[in-house]
Structure formats: C-alpha cells, structure tokens
Amino acid sequence: ESELFGHAPNAFTGASPRGRDGHLAAADGGTLFLDEIAEMTPRLQAMLLRFLEDGTYQRLGDPRPRRANVRLISATCRDLPDRVRSGAFRQDLFFRIRGGVLGLPPLRERTDLASLSEHLLHRLSEGAAPRLSEAALARLRAHDWPGNVRELRMTLMHALAMADGEPELCVDHLPPELGYGGAPAEVAPLEEQRVEALRRALALHPSRAAAADALGIARSTLYRMIERYGL
C-alpha cells in the first residue's frame, strides 16, 4: 500500500520520518505499470478503484486527498474473470481495467527463445555474455517453462553461476531436471527456489540494485527477501 500510494511521516514502524511519495505520485503525468494485479488484497483493490473513479488517493496515515493523472497498464498470469467469479477480485475493478486486453503467449509457444535467452544473458552478465551451445539451446527448447520468463531468467542465472566465466554455456551448466518434458521427478518447493534464485543473484551481482534488476523485482522486495531469509 505505501509503495503504491506513499505514506505520511512516521505512519508506521520503520516509516521515514519525512514521509514518502509512492509510485502513483512518481507516475503522475505518465504511465503506471502494475504487475500481477490479480494478487492485490481486497483493501488495495478498493483503494485502486477509488483512484480510477475520481483520480484521488490518500497516502498511508495522511487524510488529505491527493490527485494524480496516470495511464494505467496492468498485467497478470491469472484468469481474471475466474478470479471475479470466485470473489477474489472485485468485479467493478475488473470492468475498470479491462479496456484493451493484450494476450501474451506462454514461453513454450514462442519462437524467439534463442534471442530472448541471448538478451537475458547480456542483462545478467557482468562482462561479456557467454553464448549458448546448440545442445544447451535444444535443452531449453525441450522444456515446458511453466514459470515462463521468470523461470528462464532463474535457469540462466544458474547456468552462469555453474559456468563460472566460461565463454560457452553447455548442457552440464543447466539444472539437471530441465528439458525432459512434463514435470521433473522432484520439484523443489517454491520457497526453496526463491531462496536459491536470490542467492544466485547476490553472488552474480555485487550491487543489490543490479541483483534486483536481474530478478525482475523492486529493490524494496529484494531487501525484504534478504531480511526474511537471513541472507
């Protein structure tokens, strides 16, 4: 809530004594992108709906209304109509945000896996990015990618860590369960995968800002994860 709308000075334990503007204020006059909007809490959904209806919002701990003018773009991997039917997502908010819908195919249906992998390797590498061997690329293409691009990013981070500076990523650098079709025999719990991805990002990137960018998360989320997992 405070990240989106901001907060007043000392609004909660650990809050800045000077207060803080949120993403809405930062995006005023521009575009605000909300990822995974289906995961919003009911309270946050109500606050966002109010803003979309009259253009006003309140910072946490501040009763004064503020205004912002933004173009909203949201994304989700969930079936929003299904979430509406189950009561997990507000129907009125759904009608507000469903204007132009652009469906993106899952990674397993895309034909640009090689170029996307190359792009991610350049972003994840501190120096010159290694190339993928033909066998490694074939293994990537054989995988179903249930986690889509985020899973691909984690996989390439694993490969970079295993390659340890070698100019080419080969099959041996990839996770052993990758690319055999269907589900692997054993899947690590999601929590363990998150911790491992965080460790890899911190090992590959001495800057926490760079680690957050590599993981595709906000810096504040990275700091919370580091504190939560004691890393």
Q: Is the pLDDT of residue 2 over 90?
A: no
Of 125 and 219, more confident: 125
Place of tokens 């906000």: 218
Residue 32 · residue 23 · CB < 8 Å: yes
**Burial of 110 (C-beta count, 10 Å sphere; 0-12/13-18/19+):** middle
Q: Is the pLDDT of residue 228 over 60?
A: yes
Residue 40 · residue 48 · CB < 8 Å: yes
Give per-residue pLDDT as tens, 100-159. Answer: 888 888 888 888 999 999 999 999 887 788 999 999 999 999 888 888 898 999 999 889
Q: Averaged over 2-20, what is the pLDDT?
A: 88
Candidate from 109-123, 159-173, 212-226 with smallest mean pLDDT: 212-226
Of 202, 127, 201, give the one whose Cα is nearest residue 166: 127
Using CA atoms, how far residue 52 sits from 66, 70, 168, in Å, is: 13, 9, 49
Which pLDDT score, from 0 to 100, does residue 38 have? 93
The DSSP code sequence of 113-126 is HHHHHHHHHHHH-S
Of 104, 103, 3, 102, give the one whose Cα is nearest residue 48: 3
- Global confidence as pTM: 0.58
Which pLDDT score, from 0 to 100, does residue 193 have? 66
Of 38, 27, 36, give the one whose Cα is nearest residue 4: 27
Q: Where are the beta strands (DSSP E) in the chain?
A: 6-7, 20-21, 31-34, 56-57, 66-67, 71-74, 131-132, 168-169
Which pLDDT score, from 0 to 100, does residue 11 have? 86
**Which domains are present in the chain?**
2-97 (3.40.50.300), 107-229 (no CATH)
Q: How confident is the model at residue 185 (pLDDT cuts 50, 70, 90)?
A: very low
